Amino acid sequence: MTLEELPLNECVQFWHSKSDHIAAYEKFKMLSVTGGVPRYLEELKPDLSAEANIKDLCFISGGLFVDEFERIFSDLFSKRSPLYKKIVRFIAEGPSDIKTICQQLKISQTGMIGEYLEDLKISGFISRDFTWNIKSGMESKLSKYRLSDNYLRFYLKYIEKRLRQIQQNQLLNITISNLPGWHSMMGMQFENLVLNNRLWIKEQLSLDPEEIIIDNPFFSTKDKKIPGLSN
């Protein structure tokens, strides 16, 4: 059974009575780090801004998210955690197919890679997205693996590279929005939130399920590039 995140309408309940008075962008900034993981949302302090919450969790020595990455992989994958980490680190840079993953990590496509990817998928860390034929509207056999856990991407992008500084409390005055690549990273986090909540979003927009052909991300192979579309 795949571990699923809470839908957005349940996530906002963690702001308690203050939820209606907090800007949507403030909530989005927080969810860009926690996703819909209940354990992470429980750490939310409604009286603090998203920036202050993120600093407490990510950029102060002893913050929950500083060591959470190592705890996750040690507890779930034990001795095999190094390879799982390599896979996650590569996919964190952008969705990728299994062939490219194997090539970049220099591992056999016929080996245990399928099992590793499935383990990460069941754990809720990655998702497998199938594209579709833009002419027929039919689902394609082409698929890419996407890092669907917002915390993992945030950790790899901003926390891991600054661990020494964080452990020495040198980043207490950091401005989150000035972090390198912040806006592009937020775009990927937003995509995750949309894809993880697609059913709820369609309900809120009163979209008729029968009129929706495909709701997965679209991509094409390099040798089948479609004019006007990027891969």
Question: Tell me, what amino acid is at 91?
Answer: I
Mean pLDDT of 133-159: 88
Query: Distance (Å, rounded) from C-alpha 184 to C-alpha 205?
Result: 26
Kindly report, residue by residue over 11-70, the tens digit of the pLDDT: 999 999 999 999 999 999 999 999 999 999 999 999 999 999 999 999 999 999 999 999
Kindly report, residue by residue over 57-110, the tens digit of the pLDDT: 999 999 999 999 999 999 999 888 999 999 999 999 999 999 999 999 999 887
Q: At how many degrees (to 10) do helices 24-34 and 182-196 cross?
A: 90
Is the predicted pLDDT of residue 227 greater than 90, yes or no? Answer: no
In this prediction, residue 209 carries a pLDDT of 83
Kindly report, residue by residue over 183-196, the tens digit of the pLDDT: 898 999 999 999 98
Query: Distance (Å, rounded) from C-alpha 21 to C-alpha 54?
Result: 19
In this prediction, residue 231 carries a pLDDT of 53
Length of the chain: 231
Of 83 and 229, which is predicted with more confidence? 83
Query: Distance (Å, rounded) from C-alpha 224 to C-alpha 210?
Result: 29
Q: What share of the chain is helix, strand, coil (3-state, %, to 5)?
A: 60, 5, 35
Q: Which residue has the tokens 């500083």?
A: 66
Q: How confident is the model at residue 218 (pLDDT cuts 50, 70, 90)?
A: confident
3-state secondary structure (DSSP) of residue 129: strand
In this prediction, residue 140 carries a pLDDT of 78
Q: How confident is the model at residue 215 (pLDDT cuts 50, 70, 90)?
A: confident
Mean pLDDT of 159-171: 95
Contacts of 3 (CB under 8 A, 6+ apart): 122, 123, 124
Cβ(144)–Cβ(97) under 8 Å? yes
| The model's pTM | 0.87
Query: Distance (Å, rounded) from C-alpha 6 to C-alpha 12?
Result: 10
CB atoms within 10 A of CB 85: 17
